[in-house]
Amino acid sequence: MIAHLGIVFTGAGDDWLRATMPVDARTKQPYGLLHGGASVVLAETLGSSAGNLCVDMSTQICVGLEINANHLRAATQGLVTGTARAVHVGRSTQVWDITIENPAGKRVCVSRLTLAVIARSDG
């Protein structure tokens, strides 16, 4: 889904991760606006990826427990930029705030993602 929607990771720090996503035919709803579901995909991609960078992925992984999103402003073209920031990084759960902005830096969507940290079981 990441490749299909054109999501590209663009930066990272100790407690944040950033990516962009184009507003185009893949991510727009029928009325020409950024689809709310696409915003949530970007938010969950950022939060889950950031969470997994905080654990030893040879023994643990992070999976989504809950996500919410508030769509604040329409986006109709260009790239939106999402930034995930850690709120809580614990042994069994993590919480991430994700802000998605348009090219002018105005908030399009704010989201909060709760992750469960679980034992890795390949197979």
Rg of the chain in Å (alpha carbons): 14
Catalytic residue among 44, 98, 99, 117: 44
Q: Which helix (H) or strand (E) holds 89?
A: strand 79-89
- Asked whether 121 and 63 are in contact (CB, 8 A), the reply is no
Q: Would residue 44 show up in a list of annotated catalytic residues for this protein?
A: yes
DSSP 90: -
> What is the distance between the alpha carbons of residues 95 and 87, in angstroms, rounded to a whole number?
5
> What is the distance between the alpha carbons of residues 51 and 94, in angstroms, rounded to a whole number?
7
Give the active site residues: 44
